[in-house]
């Protein structure tokens, strides 16, 4: 009886939380933005990530967004905001600013690869490095956060490096933008 009650409550809470997240995401539209500026991600103190990880991730995000921009014509301008400024889109354009924070930076581990090598049919072709970032999409004019998301990616196969996991994270970000841009 107690188990059934617990499962019923768990199911209700899961449905409510799951649908509330979908409702928020459905309201996001990036169609009116002509330019995107990616700022260096913040790296919290005490994080295992090197201080340069925020800048490196911003560069990877810009590269991937530009890659998707070639095929889908998402934005007129895609730039990384330089620390000194000066790399701003021309005035008159509606600008989307992407900021974020490095949440996880995990280098590959031998134990992770060995443990995954016992999965039938996969062998040692799974990576063990991972990268997670929290992104905020901000309207530059109003300063309002219009969307937030956490994106977690891992390395694959012989590309078992955090840098490759970061490349995949930039691509995941570009896919989210493409989805909300309606392309």
Maximum mean pLDDT: which of 10-19, 22-31, 54-63, 82-91? 54-63
Residue 23 lies in a domain: no
Sorting pLDDT into bands at 50, 70 and 90, what band is 55? very high
Its domain, for residue 177, covers 32-181
Q: How, if at all, do strands 126-139 and 35-38 pair? A: unpaired
> Mean pLDDT throughout 139-152?
95
How many domains are contained in the chain? Answer: 1
Q: What is the pLDDT of residues 56-75, one digit of tens each?
A: 999 999 999 999 999 889 99
Which residue did the predictor score with more confidence, 9 or 6? 9
Residue 22 lies in a domain: no
In 10 A of CB 153, how many CB atoms?
22
- 182, 31 in Cβ contact below 8 A? yes
Distance spanning both ends of the chain, measured CA to CA: 49
Does 13 reside within a domain? Answer: no
Asked if the structure places residue 14 within a domain, the reply is: no
Which CATH number goes with the domain that contains 129?
A: 3.40.50
Residue 25 lies in a domain: no
pLDDT at 179 over 90: yes
Residue 89 lies in a domain: yes
pLDDT tens readout for residues 20-40: 444 445 578 899 999 999 999
Question: Is pLDDT above 90 for 14?
Answer: no
Q: Is residue 115 part of a domain?
A: yes
pLDDT digits (tens, 9 = 90+) for 109-134: 766 555 555 666 555 556 678 999 99
Does some domain include residue 99?
yes
The mean pLDDT of the chain is: 81
Instruction: Tell me the DSSP string of 55-97.
Output: HHHHHHHHHHHHHHHHHH---SEEEEPPTT---PPPTTS-EEE
Sequence-distant (≥ 6) Cβ neighbours of residue 2 within 8 angstroms: none
């Amino acid at each position: 009886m107690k188990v059934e009650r617990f499962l019923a409550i768990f199911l209700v809470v899961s449905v409510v939380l799951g649908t509330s997240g979908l409702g928020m995401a459905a309201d996001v539209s990036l169609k009116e933005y002509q330019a995107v500026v990616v700022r260096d991600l913040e790296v919290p103190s005490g994080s295992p990530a090197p201080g340069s990880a925020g800048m490196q991730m911003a560069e990877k995000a810009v590269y991937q967004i530009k890659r998707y921009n070639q095929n889908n014509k998402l934005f007129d301008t895609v730039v990384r905001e330089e620390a000194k400024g000066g790399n701003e889109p021309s005035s008159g354009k509606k600008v989307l600013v992407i900021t974020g924070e490095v949440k996880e930076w995990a280098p590959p581990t031998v134990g992770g690869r060995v443990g995954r090598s016992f999965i039938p049919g996969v062998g040692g072709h799974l990576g063990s490095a991972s990268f997670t970032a929290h992104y905020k999409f901000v309207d530059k004019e109003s300063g309002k956060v219009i969307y937030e998301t956490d994106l977690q990616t891992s390395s694959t196969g012989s590309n078992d490096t955090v840098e490759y996991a970061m490349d995949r994270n930039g691509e995941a970000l570009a896919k989210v933008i493409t989805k909300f841009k309606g392309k």
